[in-house]
Amino acid sequence: EPEVTQTPSHQVTQMGQEVILRCVPISNHLYFYWYRQILGQKVEFLVSFYNNEISEKSEIFDDQFSVERPDGSNFTLKIRSTKLEDSAMYFCASTLQGRGEQYFGPGTRLTVT
């Protein structure tokens, strides 16, 4: 059964450093998302991506964040200068249709020290 994959599973970085989180969505899906979940809190939307451009972004997704689909399979989230408050679990998701069920990856745990 196709699934969304994410790498790395755990990333530790120092404050101010750049990180890139990687995702491989399900191959025939067209809509891609990043969400994050701070420990003990709800899953929060960051950004949606369709047809090679951002379709919507949240207030969290400021100028320090960017997304890219560099080839036909990968979808990346870059944080340019990490802050302590960026520590969270980051989930990638994809769906075939905009209103359809979104399938989530296993997540990348980002720890900023």
Tokens of 39: 């420990």
Based on the shown chain and the rule CB under 8 A, indicate whether residue 103 belongs to the binding site for other proteins.
yes
Minimum distance from CB of 48 to other proteins (Å)?
A: 4
Interaction mask 39-58, other proteins, x per CB under 8 A: --xxxxx--x-x----xx-x
Among 1, 59, 62, 101, binds other proteins (CB under 8 A): 101
> What is the DSSP annotation of 5-22?
EEE-SEEEE-TT--EEEE
Strand partners, 95: 31
What type of residue is 65? F
Nearer to other proteins, 53 or 71 (CB): 53
CB-count exposure of residue 94 (10 Å: 0-12, 13-18, 19+): buried
Residues that bind other proteins (CB under 8 A): 4, 31, 33, 35, 41-45, 48, 50, 55-56, 58, 89, 91, 98-107, 109
